[in-house]
């Protein structure tokens, strides 16, 4: 019975949750678009493009930058984000670009509650403004 109820909830709320998460991702992308030296991309994780075949139907935001160009690593960003209150932890999976100078982090929209996206954007802007 529980499985049936869970499937009904998923069917009824699945698309609306995705739309909410996509709007959050679009907000983050728009607010970070003016930060120099970083690329901000939404990965839709839908039928058109996936981050990884095993990832759920949730649109994360990918932030990429050249560590040699700006002298900041993903580890630097991790420490900066975690050392403030509230601490923030970005996802640090490594699916690609193992041998490039690119650094990256994902912002998972699935876990964000309003106004957490504003905290993340403000903190990332401060981090990259100190370059």
Alpha helical stretches, state H, the chain: 2-32, 67-70, 74-82, 116-129
Query: What pLDDT sits at residue 107?
Result: 94
Domain CATH number, residue 11? 3.90.1150.180
pTM to 2 decimals? 0.81
pLDDT digits (tens, 9 = 90+) for 39-62: 999 988 777 666 666 566 788 999
- Phi-psi group of 78: left, alpha or beta (phi > 0 → left; psi -120 to 50 → alpha; rest → beta): alpha
What is the Cα–Cα distance from 112 to 110, expressed in whole angstroms?
6
What is the Cα–Cα distance from 55 to 57, expressed in whole angstroms?
7
Q: How confident is the model at residue 110 (pLDDT cuts 50, 70, 90)?
A: confident
Beta bridge partners of 104: 64
Domain that holds residue 54: 2-129
Residue 79, both tokens:
């420490």
* Interval 92-114 mean pLDDT: 79
Counted domains in the chain: 1
């Amino acid at each position: 019975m529980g499985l049936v109820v869970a499937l009904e909830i998923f069917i009824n709320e699945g698309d609306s949750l995705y739309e909410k998460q996509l709007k959050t991702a679009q907000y983050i992308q728009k607010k970070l678009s003016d930060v120099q030296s970083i690329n901000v991309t939404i990965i839709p994780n839908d039928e058109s493009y996936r981050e990884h075949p095993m990832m759920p139907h949730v649109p994360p935001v990918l932030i990429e930058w050249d560590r040699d160009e700006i002298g900041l690593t993903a580890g630097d960003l991790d420490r900066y984000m975690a050392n403030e209150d509230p601490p923030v932890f970005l996802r640090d999976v490594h699916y690609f670009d193992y041998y490039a100078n690119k650094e990256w982090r994902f912002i998972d929209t699935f876990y964000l509650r309003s106004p957490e996206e504003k905290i993340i954007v403000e903190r990332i802007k401060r981090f990259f403004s100190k370059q």
